[in-house]
Chains A and B, each alone.
Chain A
Amino acid sequence: MIAINNVSKWYGDFQVLTDCTTRVAKGEVVVVCGPSGSGKSTLIKCVNALEPFQKGSVVVNGIAVEDTKTNLPRLRAQVGMVFQHFELFPHMTITQNLTVAQMKVLGRGKEEALDKGLKLLDRVGLKSQADKFPGQLSGGQQQRVAIARALAMDPICMLFDEPTSALDPEMINEVLDVMVQLAREGMTMMCVTHEMGFARKVAHRVIFMDQGAIVEDATKDDFFGKPRSERAQSFLAKILQH
C-alpha cells in the first residue's frame, strides 16, 4: 500500500531524513516512534507529499508521489491524515468541516456528504455536536472530529502524526479508542505516536527513528521483546517510565 524507498531530505545543509526505507502493507498498522526532532513528522508528511524530498521514492497504491505528473490533490484525497493540533477549520461548523472536502474535492452532493459526515460523527460519539464550532469543543472531541473528517473521504489508508500528544491526559483514551477500533476494522495505518499501549494493542510493526534514519523496523513482538539497538532501548525506557 505504502512503499518508502531510500528517501532522503535536506533543509539546506541539514539532512532531516537519511535513506529511509520501509513498507506498509494493506491492512497493516505501523507505529513510528523516536525522539523529538528525529524526523517522524517529516517522514510521514512525505507519504502524501506535504513535504517534498530530494532523493528516493514514495509509492502509494501504485502511484509515485514524487512524479511531477502525479495528480497530488487526487492522491491526497485518498490518504487520510490526522494532525497533532487537530487543524479543524475554525470558521466552519463541525458539519461543514466534515462535508466541505467531500463536496469540493470528491464532488459529492450536499445530501450525500451530510449523510456520510453525520454517520461518521455518530461513530466517534459526537453526533450531538454537529452544529457547534471547533472552538466550542474540547481537544479530545476536536481530534475525534478530525478523524471523522478524514474518514469521510473514504481513504485507502490513514496517517496520524502524534494525534494525542497535544491532549490532556484524560482525553487521550477517547481518541485512542477510536483509533483502535479503526485498526481492528482493518484500516491501513501509519501512526507517529509514543503511546506504547496503543502499539502493543494493535500495531503489527514498530519503526524507531533517530536523527533522520530508521534505526529499527521490527514486528511488534520483536520490538518489545528481543534485544535491539541501544538507542531504542534507552528511548523506550524513558517513555515507559510515565
Chain B
Amino acid sequence: MNYHWDWLFFFQEADDGLMYYQWVLSGLGWTVAVSLTSLAIALLLGSAFGVMRTTPNRWLIAIGDTYVDVFRNIPLIVQLFLWFFVLPELVPRDIGLWMKQDLPYFVTAVIGLGLFTGARIAEQVKAGINSLSRGQRFAGLALGFTEWQTYRYVRLPMAYRIVLPALTSEAMNVYKNSAVTYSVGILELYFQYKQIIEKTSQVLEITIVITLAYFVVAFATNRLFAWIEQRSRVPGMIAGGQGGK
C-alpha cells in the first residue's frame, strides 16, 4: 500500500481562505440544521396526517391516505427536484421567479425532506393510535371529551409512547437522507466530503472523519430518544403498551 497518510491536511488553507477542518464543521452544521428542521416539520405533519387517518371522517382519511401514498412512494431525490425545478415552472411567473431567486435553498430543502419524512411518521402515528383499545376513545368521549380532546389527552400520549422506538429510527434516518440535499445545492456534510476529495485526494482521512461525524449525530439522537423513552415510561405497564381490544 502506497497511500500517503496526511492527517494534517485538515489544517491546510483551502482556496477560500478557510481550513479544511472548517469545511467539515460547516458541512456538519448544515447537516444538523437541515435534519433537525426537517424532523420538526415531519413530526408536525406526520402527527396531523396520522391523526386524520384515524378519525371517523372519510374525507380526512382520504386526505391523509393520499399524502402518505404520494410522499412515501416517490424517491426523495425526485421529490427534491420537483420542489426545486418543477414547481417554480408550474406556479405563476412572478412566484416562480421568487422561488428560484429569493427563496433560500434551505427552506425548500427542509420542506421537501420534512414532507417525505412526515409521510413515514404519519404511518407510524396511525399505527400507534390504532393499537390502542377502542374503549380508550369511548372512555374519553363518555367523560365529555370532544373527539379532538380524546386525541390530545388520551390517545396521542399513549400512541407516541408506543411508537417511540420507530420514531427513533426515523430520526436517525433523517441524517442519512439529508445527504441527498447536496444535489439541490445545500452545502452540507456530503457536499463538503465530495469537494474535499476533489481538492486534496486524501480520500481515506476524509472518509473516516465524515463517517465519524455521521455516526456521532446519529448516536446522539439515539441517546436523546432513549432518554425520552426512559422519562416517559409508565409505571406498572408492560413494555409495548396494552393489548388492543
The interface of chain A, by Cβ under 8 A from chain B, is 45, 48, 50, 72-74, 76-81, 83-85, 87-91, 100-101, 104-106, 132-137, 149-150, 153
Contacts and interface: CB of A to CB of B under 8 A. Distances in A.
Contacts of B201: none
A133 B142 CA distance: 21
A129 to B, nearest CB: 11
Interface string B151-178: 0011001100100000000000000000
A73 B135 contact: no
A207 B188 CA distance: 71
A176 B91 CA distance: 68
B142 A50 contact: yes
B133 interface: yes
Nearest to B160: A91
Given A90-B237, A104-B149, A48 B135 contact: no
A76 B145 CA distance: 8
A89 B242 contact: no
29 contacts: A48-B142, A50-B141, A76-B142, A76-B144, A77-B143, A83-B139, A84-B135, A85-B133, A85-B135, A87-B136, A88-B139, A89-B153, A90-B234, A90-B242, A91-B158, A91-B161, A101-B143, A101-B144, A101-B145, A104-B149, A104-B153, A105-B143, A105-B144, A106-B144, A133-B235, A133-B237, A135-B234, A135-B237, A136-B236
A100 B237 contact: no
User: Which of B142, B146, B234 has the most CB atoms of chain A within a 10 A radius of its CB?
Assistant: B142
User: Which of B136, B138, B139 has the most CB atoms of chain A within a 10 A radius of its CB?
Assistant: B139
Contacts of A88: 139
A88 B139 CA distance: 8
A120 B143 CA distance: 16
A105 B234 contact: no
B235 A83 contact: no
A77 B144 contact: yes
B210 to A, nearest CB: 41
User: Which of A81, A104, A132 has the most CB atoms of chain B within a 10 A radius of its CB?
Assistant: A104
Given A76-B143, A84-B135, 9 more contacts: A45-B138, A74-B144, A81-B139, A83-B139, A91-B157, A105-B144, A105-B145, A132-B235, A153-B144
Interface string B28-70: 0000000000000000000000000000000000000000000
B239 to A, nearest CB: 11
A50 B141 CA distance: 7
Contacts of A90: 158, 234, 237, 242
A153 B143 contact: yes
B199 interface: no
B93 interface: no
Contact of B234 (A80, A83, A133): A133
B136 A100 contact: no
Contacts of B235: 132-133, 135-136
B158 A149 contact: no
Contact of B144 (A73, A87, A136): A73
B234 A149 contact: no
Given A76-B143, A90-B237, A135-B236, A83 B138 contact: yes
Nearest to B158: A91
B234 A91 contact: yes
Contacts of A81: 138-139, 142
A85 B141 CA distance: 15
Contact of B145 (A45, A73, A83, A136): A73
Contacts of A85: 133, 135, 245
A89 B139 contact: yes
A77 B146 CA distance: 10
A76 B237 CA distance: 29
B137 to A, nearest CB: 9
B234 A79 contact: no
A87 B135 CA distance: 6
Interface string B106-147: 000000000000000000000000000101101111111110
Nearest to A75: B144
Nearest to B242: A90
User: Which of A79, A90, A137, A150 has the most CB atoms of chain B within a 10 A radius of its CB?
Assistant: A90
Contacts of A89: 136, 139-140, 153-154, 158
A150 B143 CA distance: 7
Nearest to A101: B143
